[in-house]
Chain A
Amino acid sequence: MSTQAWTFTIVGLTFALYVAIAIRARATSTGEFYVAGKGVPPLANGMATAADWMSAASFLGMAGLISFMGYDGSVYLMGWTGGYVLLAVLLAPYLRKFGKFTVPDFIGDRYESKIGRRVAVFCAIFICFTYVAGQMRGVGVVFSRFLEVSVEKGVLIGMAIVFVYAVLGGMKGITWTQVAQYCILIFAFLVPAIFISIQLTGNPIPQVGFGSRLDGEVGREIASGAPWLLDTLNQLHDELGFKPYTDGSKSLTDVFCITLALMVGTAGLPHVIVRFYTVPRVKDARTSAFWALFFIAILYTAAPAVAAFARANLIHTVDGAHYAPATRVNDQGKSLPDWFRTWEETGLIAWIDKNGDGKVRYHEGAAFGAFEGSSKPAFSDKRGASGERMFFNPPSDSPNELYVDKDIMVLANPEIAGLPAWVIGLVAAGALAAALSTAAGLLLVVSTAISHDLLKRGAMPNISERGELMAARIAAAVAVVIAGIMGIYPPGFVAQVVAFAFGLAASSFFPAIVMGIFSKRMNQLGAVSGMVAGIAFTTSYIIWFKFIDTAPDAPSRWWFGISPEGIGSVGMLVNFAVALGLRRFGAPPSPATQELVEHIRVPEG
Chain B
Amino acid sequence: MNGPDRASYWRANLRLIFSVLCIWFLVSFGAGIWGREFLDQWRLPGTGFPLGFWFAQQGSILVFVCLIAFYVRAAGRLDKRFGVEEKADDPNAQQDGKA
Footprint of B on A, CB under 8 Å?
A: 25, 29, 31-32, 35-40, 66, 71, 73-74, 77-78, 81-82, 84-86, 88-90, 93, 97, 99, 172, 207-208, 210-213, 228-231, 246, 248, 252, 255-256, 259-260, 263, 280-283, 286-287, 289-290, 293-294, 297, 300-301, 304, 598, 601-605
Contacts and interface: CB of A to CB of B under 8 A. Distances in A.
B17 A602 contact: no
A211 B48 contact: yes
Given A210-B58, A304-B57, A231 B64 contact: no
Nearest to B28: A78
Interface string B45-63: 0011110011011101110
A71 B56 contact: yes
A39 B75 contact: no
Contacts of A208: 47
Q: How large is the interface on B (under 10, 10 to 19, 20 to 34, 35 or more residues)?
A: 35 or more
B62 to A, nearest CB: 7
Interface string B1-32: 10000100110010011001100100011001
15 contacts: A25-B99, A32-B96, A38-B95, A71-B36, A71-B57, A82-B64, A85-B64, A85-B67, A212-B48, A230-B50, A256-B29, A286-B68, A286-B76, A290-B65, A290-B69
B24 A210 contact: no
Contacts of B95: 38, 99
A276 to B, nearest CB: 13
B92 A99 contact: yes
Contacts of B36: 71, 248
Nearest to B29: A256
A486 B29 CA distance: 36
B98 A304 contact: no
Contact of A293 (B29, B68, B86): B68
Interface in B68-99: 68-69, 71-72, 75-76, 79, 83-87, 90, 92-99
Contacts of A172: 99
A230 B57 contact: no
Contact of B99 (A37, A71, A229, A281): A37
Contacts of B53: 71, 74, 230, 246
A246 B28 contact: no
Contacts of B86: 281-283, 603-604
B28 A259 contact: yes
B65 A297 contact: yes
A179 to B, nearest CB: 13
Contact of B64 (A71, A84, A228, A598): A84
Nearest to A27: B99
Contacts of A255: 33
B68 to A, nearest CB: 4
Given A37-B98, A74-B56, A259-B33, 9 more contacts: A39-B98, A71-B36, A74-B33, A74-B57, A84-B68, A210-B58, A211-B54, A230-B49, A293-B68
A294 B65 contact: yes
Contacts of B40: 246
A211 B49 contact: yes
B87 to A, nearest CB: 7
A598 B61 CA distance: 33
B84 A602 contact: yes
Contact of B62 (A85, A280, A297): A297
B31 to A, nearest CB: 10
Contacts of A210: 49, 57-58
Contact of B34 (A35, A36, A252, A263): A252
B17 to A, nearest CB: 5
Q: Interface on chain B toward A: helix, strand, loop, or mixed SS?
A: helix
Contact of A300 (B16, B48, B61, B96): B61
Given A89-B21, A231-B48, A39 B96 contact: yes
B75 A36 contact: no
Contacts of B96: 29, 31-32, 35, 37-39
A90 B61 contact: no
B75 A286 contact: yes
Contacts of B68: 84-85, 88, 286, 289-290, 293
B62 A301 contact: yes
A230 B48 contact: yes
A604 to B, nearest CB: 4
B36 to A, nearest CB: 7
Given A603-B86, A604-B87, A297 B48 contact: no
B20 to A, nearest CB: 5
A332 to B, nearest CB: 32
Nearest to A83: B64
A246 B84 contact: no
B10 A601 contact: yes
A304 B58 contact: yes
Contact of B61 (A31, A71, A78, A228): A78
A602 B60 contact: no
A78 B57 CA distance: 7
Contacts of A282: 86, 92
Nearest to A602: B84
Nearest to A92: B68
A518 B4 CA distance: 18
Given A39-B96, A85-B24, A297-B62, A603 B72 contact: no
A210 B48 CA distance: 8
A280 B93 contact: yes
A84 B69 CA distance: 12
A256 B33 contact: yes
A356 B54 CA distance: 41
A536 B71 CA distance: 35
B64 A81 contact: yes
A301 B95 CA distance: 38
Contacts of B98: 37, 39
A208 B57 CA distance: 12
A259 B67 CA distance: 18
Nearest to B34: A252
Nearest to A29: B96
The winner among B47, B54, B65 for most chain A CB atoms within 10 A is: B65
Contacts of A39: 96-99
A213 B61 CA distance: 23
